[in-house]
Amino acid sequence: MAWKWKYSPKDQLEDMSSLHPGLTGLQNLENTCYMNAVLQCLCSLTPFVQYFLSGKWNAALAQLISLLSAIAFGCLVSDMWLGEFDFVSPEAFHSVFGKRYPAFSRRTQHDAQEFLICVLDDLHEAFKQVRPSQERQSSAAGASTRSSSGTSIITHLFEGQLSYAIRCLTCRALSDRPESFTILSLPIPSTRMCSLQDCLECFFQPDTLTRNNQIHCYWCGSNRDATVKASITKAPQIIIFHLKRFAWQDKHRRKLSTTVCYPFSDLDLSPYISPSCHNNTEYSLCAVVNHAGDLDYGHYTAFCKHSITKHWYSFDDAQVTKIPDSAVQADTAYILFYTSQGF
C-alpha cells in the first residue's frame, strides 16, 4: 500500500469565522523566545497547518512515547488559528515537551535550530507509519535513518535526500552515500555580506578528504585521499536552511553578523540537484527565525507570511505586527523556511 497524504482545501483556512486566524502571539514563559519563534514559523506553513486543523493528526497518532507532546502541539496549532485571543500560552506544550527532552524543560536560553530538530523528530515519532518490510530492515541493520523508520507528515513535507559522491584519488573508484535531511546547515562564507546562493555554493562545493579525514577505499583495501561532492536527489516540499552564525575562532565561540541576502521567490536549487531528481526546483520564502544580540543575551523573533492575506508579520513573543516586505530582509536571519512553488 502506498502512503498518501491528503489535506483539506485551502478554503478551510479562509472560511474560519475569526478576523485574525493565524495571527496569535505566544506568551514568553521566561527565556522561551527560541521556542515561540520556531512554533510561529511552523504554524505559518500552509500544508502543515491544514494537516492539524483538519483533524487528520488525531487518526495518525501511532507512538505513545510522543503522544502527549503531539496532542499538545495539535491543540496549540488550533488555538493559534482560532484567532480569538491576541496571544495564548504555550505552557502545556512546553511542559510535556520538556519531559521528553529535559534540556528544554529548564527556563534558560536555547538554540532555536536544536529545538526545531527535536520538535520535528518528536512529531515524526508520534505520527510515523511503519510497513512490516521496513521493520524487518530496521532491526536487521541495528540502526535506521528516519526515512527507513516509517513515513509521516514530517517526512512527507520536510524530508529531502542528499547523495555524497565519493571518489578515491588513488584508484578513481566512485561510490555514493545517501543521507536524509530535514534541515540544511549552511556555512556563511563572508564576514560582511553574501547571498543565500553564496552559502549554497559553499555547502555544495567539492571537498578533498585527506589525513585524518581519509576514507577507507574498498578497492584499495586501505585509507585513501578522496574527493566528495554533495547533490540533492530528493527535494522536499518545504526546505529549511540554517545559517551557521555561531562559529569557533581561537577556542572561542562567536556570532557572525554577516548580512545574508535571500530571495523572496524563485530560489532556484537546480544547480545543486541531481539529474535523477524530477522535483520542482524553485522555492518561495514563507518564514524566518531571527536572532538578535550575542551568544549570551540574544533574543529570537519570527517573520511569517500569512497564508490568507499574503502579508508579512513580525512575531515577537506575544506581540504581532504587520511589517512591509522590505523589513523581512534582515541581518538577524538565522533559519529560513522555503516552500516549493510546484505544490
Catalytic residues: 33, 299
β-pair partners for 248: 253
Concatenated DSSP letters of 235-289: --SEEEEEE--EEEETTEEEE---EEE--SS-EE-GGGB-TT--S--EEEEEEEE
Query: What is the Cα–Cα distance from 338 to 151, expressed in whole angstroms?
Result: 21
Amino acid at 50: Q
Nearest to 340 by CA among 285, 287, 277: 285
Query: What distance lies between CA 256 and its chain's CA centroid?
Result: 21
β-pair partners for 314: 303, 321
Give 124: exposed, middle or buried? Use CB within 10 Å, 0-12, 13-18, 19+.
buried
Please work out, in degrees rounded to the nearest 5, the angle formed at the alpha carbon of residue 242 by the alpha carbons of 121 and 270: 100
